[in-house]
Chains A and B, each alone.
Chain A
Amino acid sequence: MAMMQFELVSPERKLASVEASEVQIPGAEGDFTAMPDHAPVITTLRPGYLKVVSASGTEEFFVTGGFAEVSSEGTTVLAERAYTRADMTPELTAELVAEAEAAHKDAGTDASAKLVADMASGVAL
């Protein structure tokens, strides 16, 4: 099977760098799956789970925002904050939702309201 390089980096560290056969990305305009030779795309992300299928199995990461770049060389996801599935304890999910709500209270815009909704539905999966 064709493989591509997948990288997930957050500002603080590199979370994953693997050969993947497919990556499910929660794009701002909707989820999509990047496979090798996918057309080059740059998209922003909404909060949600990112699924990476590689030779060693399927891994899931939760991303809070950022952007993804799909090019001929591979897929790079730059996430503001990223956690592995195992990190996602109920406390953390509650904290993330609370943070989004607090931000919405401050900003009060449609965009921040959408973030709250996305965060709530994203962590529920």
Chain B
Amino acid sequence: MPNLSDLKNRIASVKSTRKITKAMQMVAAAKLRRAQEAAEAGRPYAERFNAVMGQLAASVGSSEGAPKLLAGTGSDQTQLLIVMTAERGLCGGFNGNIAKLAKAKAQELIAAGKTVKVLTVGKKGREAIKRDLGEHFIGHVDLSEVKTMGYANAAEIAQDVLSRFSAEEFDVAKIYYSKFQSVISQIPTEQQVIPASFDAPEEGDAAASTIYDYEPSEEGILADLLPRAVATQIFSALLENGASEQGARMSAMDNATRNAGDMIDKLTIEYNRTRQAVITNELIEIISGAEAL
């Protein structure tokens, strides 16, 4: 029989845990709204950008002198995996799922005899894959000081990646992040950024059939825009990741709050039973003592 004061302490501690998880859930909900708005606001840019890039890539991409960022280096021997996760934990399977996907892909590539390099963004993912892929790490981007994800952050990461690419450190770059589907579902996603792949414009699309005048030239524009395309893709991924993280945290904390509630109910029942048992015991003692006289 557990003693009464122990149970009381237990109940008090679970209650304060519930308060904390409840608060975290509400904070995550507020942040989620903001993150979703940011993702929403970033969408028109990414969409227009990709549409134009698609047109340009379709007309220039197949030619001989196409930039390396688009056509690739002609090899896929060295692969750079950019694993983007959160800076904080307590968000359910969010970090784990991205890390798991990246790990599986990395092992596949290693098994196929490719050289794998890993760039991590966000410390949680770094910790998760350190054991298996630690020796492949070539860099880390710390975003723990960043309050609101801005394009400047993405541009910085892109700058780093691009300078590594021009130093011929890798042939193919892929980003791993979580796509925001809904509060309860975030999908770990793999996306190739170098060489860039864009959806070709659809046949019969009004915008696609327009013949544009390009200034300075198609190649010139492409050379100017391709590095930006990398930054844009990383930025959208960061925004998606931000929304996913908050969504995952919100549902994880919602579960935790509910579990704490269940636990409190159970403990309270046990506490009441124990108290009753103690009283009954005392009564029996008194009565049997009186009878003995």
Contacts and interface: CB of A to CB of B under 8 A. Distances in A.
Contacts of A14: 41, 44
Contacts, number: 79
A33 interface: no
Interface of B: 38, 41-42, 44-46, 48-49, 52, 56, 150-151, 154-155, 206-207, 210-216, 220-221, 224-225, 228, 231-232, 235
B41 A78 contact: no
A42 B42 contact: no
A10 B45 contact: yes
A67 B221 contact: yes
Interface stretch (A48-56, A69-77, A85-93, A117-125): A69-77
Contacts of A76: 48
Contacts of B41: 12-14
A7 to B, nearest CB: 8
Contact of B215 (A13, A29, A78): A29
A67 B226 CA distance: 12
Nearest to B41: A13
Interface of A: 7, 9-14, 27-29, 39-44, 66-67, 69, 71-73, 76, 78, 80-81
Given A12-B38, A12-B42, A13-B41, A40 B210 contact: yes
A11 B42 CA distance: 5
B229 to A, nearest CB: 11
Given A9-B48, A10-B151, A66-B228, A44 B212 contact: no
B45 A42 contact: no
B221 A42 contact: yes
Contacts of A27: 215
A44 B215 contact: yes
Given A11-B232, A14-B44, A76-B48, 18 more contacts: A9-B44, A10-B45, A12-B38, A12-B41, A12-B42, A28-B224, A40-B213, A41-B214, A42-B56, A42-B214, A42-B221, A44-B216, A67-B52, A69-B52, A69-B212, A71-B210, A73-B207, A78-B48
